[in-house]
Amino acid sequence: ILNVEQSPQSLHVQEGDSTNFTCSFPSSNFYALHWYRWETAKSPEALFVMTLNGDEKKKGRISATLNTKEGYSYLYIKGSQPEDSATYLCAFLYNQGGKLIFGQGTELSVKP
């Protein structure tokens, strides 16, 4: 059974705080790891697709790292803003065209 775990489940921060979340996944049969930002009633928005061990990707104030050997990825948000409030989902992919196996998500709330 392939298990993807995310922590923490929820996070409440003040505007301007930097924050990070963890996603752990199986270290065998790795193909790719996705990070999505999701607000209820909207489409999950792809942030990153990560494939190589040691990968580091950045999009504005958000960045992610990947360690496929130990099976974890970190998502960082620098200087959180209220508009960053959302659920951040990671999803594991073990073959091309295969199904995504999602973690339970981290719900981020940023207070002004």
Partner 1 sequence: GEEVAQTPKHLVRGEGQKAKLYCAPIKGHSYVFWYQQVLKNEFKFLISFQNENVFDETGMPKERFSAKCLPNSPCSLEIQATKLEDSAVYFCASSQSRLQFFGPGTRLTVL
Q: What is the total count of residues that contact partner 1 (CB under 8 A)?
A: 25
Q: Does 91 bind partner 1 (CB under 8 A)?
A: yes
Shortest CB 16 distance to partner 1, Å: 26
Restricting to residues 13-72, name those near partner 1 by CB under 8 A. 31-32, 34, 36, 41-44, 46, 49, 51
Contact pick of 23, 75, 86, 93 for partner 1 (by CB under 8 A): 93
Shortest CB 25 distance to partner 1, Å: 15
SS3 sequence, 34-101?
EEEEECCCCCCEEEEEECCCCCEEEECCEEEEEECCCCEEEEEECCCCHHHCEEEEEEEECCCCCCCE
Q: Are 89 and 49 in contact (CB under 8 A)?
A: no
Distances (CA, A) of 78 to 19, 42, 54, 83, 84: 7, 24, 20, 13, 10
Shortest CB 92 distance to partner 1, Å: 12
Positions that interact with partner 1 (CB under 8 A): 31-32, 34, 36, 41-44, 46, 49, 51, 87, 89, 91, 93, 96-102, 104-105, 107
